[in-house]
Amino acid sequence: MSPLTRRSLLAGVGTVAAMCCGAGCSTYGTPRAPAETGAAPAPSPSAAPSAEQGLAATSDIPVGGGRVFAEDGVVVTQPRSGTFVAFDATCPHAGCLVDQVTATGISCPCHGSVFDVDGGAPLEGPAGAPLAARPVRVENDRIVLA
Ligand code: FES
């Protein structure tokens, strides 16, 4: 094989290796920050609430849905009118933060797990464990971490 041919062959191997890694063959199971995944940042209050202000007003949490408070690492949901529950926003699969609550549930941007808004149980994998519960209470129509 001539040097020119060998050089051409090595360049071709490098291109194939770059294409393989670019296709994500080694990224499964590696947690990435939501910003690296292209996921939209979770909505957060315009200013950090004081302890008395709590996380949000009860009216900010939709019935059957919820809201992610990324700065506090908490998701608050209202599965039924007047019932508020909260979970740690850390996904039990590989530690990413869940980033949104949709009609399907609480979703993780890293590998697509979806969790139930009521008990935090995994509805879609790869997560096999529920989101950890966080105690909250309602004070003067505000959601407060207990
Ligand atoms: S970290 Fe993998 S699905 Fe959430």
- Chunked into runs of 10 residues, the chain (146 residues) has average pLDDT values of 41 35 27 38 45 84 96 96 97 98 97 97 97 96 93
Task: State residue 44's pLDDT score.
Answer: 42
For ligand 1, is residue 108 a contact (CB within 6 Å)? Answer: yes
Ligand 1 center from residue 62 Cα (angstroms): 24
Task: Return the best residue to mutate from 36, 68, 96, 131 for the ligand 1 pocket (most ligand atoms within 8 A of CB).
Answer: 96
Beta strands in 33-121 (DSSP E): 56-57, 66-69, 74-80, 83-88, 100-101, 106-107, 114-115
Task: State residue 52's pLDDT score.
Answer: 60
What is the CATH topology of the domain spanning 31-145?
Answer: Rieske Iron-sulfur Protein (2.102.10)
Domain range annotation of the chain = 1-30, 31-145
Helix (H, G, I), strand (E, B) or coil at 143: strand
Nearest residue CA, atom 1 of ligand 1?
94
Task: State residue 51's pLDDT score.
Answer: 56
Task: State residue 146's pLDDT score.
Answer: 87
Ligand 1 center from residue 99 Cα (angstroms): 11
